[in-house]
Structure 1
Amino acid sequence: MPLYMDRHDIPDEIKPEHVAQMHQEDLKVQHLYGCKGMTYWCDSERHTAFCLIEAPDKESIQKMHNHAHGAFPHHIIEVDAHLVESFLGRIEDPDKSVDTDLNIIDDPAFRVIMVIETADQLYRTEDHQLSIFTQKFHRSVANSLKHFQGSIVRENDKSYLVSFRSVTNAVLCALKIQENFKYSYPKLRNEHQGLNIGICAGAPVTDKEGIFTESLVLATQMCEIVKEQLVISSEIKHLYENENRNAIIDKEHIRVLKPKEEHFLSELIAFSEANWNGPNFKLSNLCKAVGHSTSQTYRKIKKLTGKAPNTFMREFRLNKALDLLHRQQGNISEIAFETGFNSPTYFTKCFNDAFGILPSKYIQLFQA
């Protein structure tokens, strides 16, 4: 049976014990609608509650809640049990305290989301074995995540998706990973070899489909697009300083995005996703989409990404091409034209300049 998570925005006067009672009322009538309430999370500080429920469909959940207590969820998404447990640490109620009738769970579902990416996938040896430097780096990442209580949601040879309860732990962990990276690649660091980390925070259910989608999208965009190695959202900065008695974020090692920069980043990516396969990129169309003059748009993109708009768009297309080549979605000429390049020869030159490897050589590495 499908698994769903819903979000309830609760009034200030509703306390954790009230939410626990509502959960109990759900359990009394759930069988009438083919549902099974697994657990819930209550965040009294942010006035939200999230229910995890097995159900035939979303409508059955709404009917169950309406019958039990009349509190309709504000949004419902379908979720994967493994992802829920990886992000939030559990998929069932924690043990109830003895001598209590009600299992009151004052446990926020708010999490800090970290995305870590390295460029090492392009620099594998012929037999696909990671270099000793890369192995050392990944061991250090695993040790740092364990030390700072980060929960790995997803990982592969070049990236990690991690969930933290503590903003402070997430920031300190990122700084430790950043420091270790310098020692893992003492002689191999160059324009094609890098580490990028993006950190933001949020709730598991928003108006978007998918668990933690908004936070994951922003963290990934910060990680992949912003020029600095370690980037955090304005909310992370605020929460970190509150947790640490107004300690100041070290801006020498951490780039803090302002809310307006976060908004511009989202608009820039939305435009790029809609136009990356068109052969004729026009800055005027981008300016119109983001609502700024040519000079303002140029400055904003340059400050955010370190690249001129034309260069940014070319590299955005090349990363799309990289993904298509990796998934073997066509030959070099087909992918060149699909990603907006008019000439396979020019595409090959740009690809080699960007990634330090010819597309033909890259294909060979993953077909061996």
Structure 2
Amino acid sequence: MPIFMDRHDVSESVTAEIVAQLHQQDLKIQHKFGCRGLTYWFDESRKMAFCLIEAPSENSIKEMHKNAHGEVPHQVIEVDAGIVESFLGRIQDPEKAKNTDLNIINDPAFRTIMVIEFVRHSVKGNGAQVLNIADLMNEIKSGFEGSVVKQYRNQLLVSFKSVSKAVTCALEISAGTLGSGMDKNYGFDRLKIGITSGVPVTGKDSIFEDAIKLAERMLFATEADISISTEVKELYRSENFNQFVETDQVLVLTPDDELFLTRLVDFIEEKWQNADLRVEDFQQYLGVSKSQLYRKTIHLTGKSPSAFLMSYRLNMALKMLEEQKGNISEIAFGAGFNSPSYFSKCFRRKYGIMPSGYLGAYAE
């Protein structure tokens, strides 16, 4: 049976005790709707509650809540139990809350999210790099209480309860001081880190989707070693006597920066395969003048709008080559280039190898 997580935005008067009482009312009638409540999280400061429930459908959860106490969730998403446990540390009630009459759980589901990207332009890796990343994951867990949620080909997705530990971890990773026998970039050409924060259910289909997407976009778009959202900076300051780490390697995005970057990448993700895309199309979609577009894009990405689009297309073409989604010509046109020869020229300029050479080496 599938597992779901729901979100309840509660009023200022709601306490952890009240949420525990509502949860108990759910448990009393859950069998009538085929549901089984696994656990819940409550954030006193943000006034949010999240329930983890095994159920036949989203509607059965809503009906259970409606009949138990009338507090219907604002959103319900299907989740993977293993992913939930990696992000939040548990899928059952915490031990300290068990065997009590009311079972009060005042445990927020808010997390600091870190995405680490290992950028490598050479065509082959080696075993030492894999071992180094394994060492890094162990030290993130043991030294900073971070939980590695996923490991992609060139990325790690990590969840932290403490924003201070997340930021400190990022600084040490960037400095190359974690892991035995590692060089600064852990065997890769470049290492970049994006740090955001958020709650698991935000109106999207996937858990922590907003926070993860912003972190990944900061990684791709900015040139900084470490990119941090405004919320992460403010939370760090609140935990550290109003102080923040000010270094050249850290870029803090303002709320306006985050909004502009989100809309810019949303547009590119929708239109990047259109070979006729022009700067004027960016202006029209974003509702800014040409000078504003250039100023903000260069400030955030270090590139002009057209250069940023080119970088995105080449990045997507690289993935298409790795996944062997067609021959060189098909990938070139699929990535929004007018000709395979121009694509090959641009690809070689960025990655130092022709697409055919990369495709051949990657297929070995």
Deviating more after overlay: 150-159 vs 23-32: 150-159
Instruction: Note the alpha carbon deviations across 1:313-352, whole angstroms, 9 max, x for none.
Output: 1111111111111111111110001111111111111111
Match of 2:66 in 1: 66
Q: Percent identity?
A: 46
Q: Is the 8 A contact 1:137 1:181 kept in 2?
A: no
Residue among 218, 222, 237 paired with 2:214: 218
Match of 2:167 in 1: 171
Instruction: Note the alpha carbon deviations across 1:244-285, whole angstroms, 9 max, x for none.
Output: 010123142310000000000001101101110011221111
Instruction: Give unpaired runs (5+ residues) of structure 2.
Output: none
Deviating more after overlay: 154-163 vs 30-39: 154-163
Instruction: Give unpaired runs (5+ residues) of structure 1.
Output: none
Q: Is the 8 A contact 2:176 2:185 kept in 1?
A: no
Distance 1:181 1:330, change over 3 A: farther
Q: Is the 8 A contact 1:43 1:107 kept in 2?
A: yes
Matches within 5 A, 1:160-309: 160-180=156-176, 184-185=182-183, 193-309=189-305
Match of 2:307 in 1: 311
Residue among 322, 329, 338 paired with 1:342: 338
Deviation at 1:25, TM superposition (A): 0.7
Residue among 109, 118, 129 paired with 2:126: 129
Deviation at 1:145, TM superposition (A): 4.2
Instruction: Note the alpha carbon deviations across 1:127-169, whole angstroms, 9 max, x for none.
Output: x534x46744653454244311110000134110000000000
Query: Structure 2: how far apart are the matches of 1:187 and 1:115?
Result: 15
Instruction: Note the alpha carbon deviations across 1:8-62, whole angstroms, 9 max, x for none.
Output: 0111111111111111110110010011111000111110000001111111101
AA partner of residue 108 (structure 1):
P
AA partner of residue 164 (structure 1):
F
How many residues align? The count is 362
Query: Structure 2: how far apart are the matches of 1:100 and 1:285?
Result: 60
Instruction: Note the alpha carbon deviations across 1:152-198, whole angstroms, 9 max, x for none.
Output: 00013411000000000000000000000799446999xx9211100
Deviating more after overlay: 357-366 vs 39-48: 357-366
Match of 2:106 in 1: 106
Give SS of 2:173's match.
helix
Q: Are 1:50 and 2:46 counterparts? A: no
- TM-align CA RMSD: 2.0
Distance 1:340 1:194, change over 3 A: same
Deviation at 1:291, TM superposition (A): 1.1
Instruction: Note the alpha carbon deviations across 1:95-137, whole angstroms, 9 max, x for none.
Output: 25577311111000000000000113x4253xx534x467446
Query: Structure 1: how far apart are the matches of 2:244 and 2:64?
Result: 47
AA partner of residue 46 (structure 1):
R
Q: Are 1:152 and 2:151 counterparts? A: no
Query: Structure 2: how far apart are the matches of 1:56 and 1:108?
Result: 26
Distance 1:358 1:181, change over 3 A: farther
Match of 1:81 in 2: 81
AA partner of residue 112 (structure 2):
V
Match of 1:327 in 2: 323
Query: Structure 1: how far apart are the matches of 2:184 and 2:27?
Result: 58
Query: Structure 1: how far apart are the matches of 2:339 and 2:322?
Result: 20
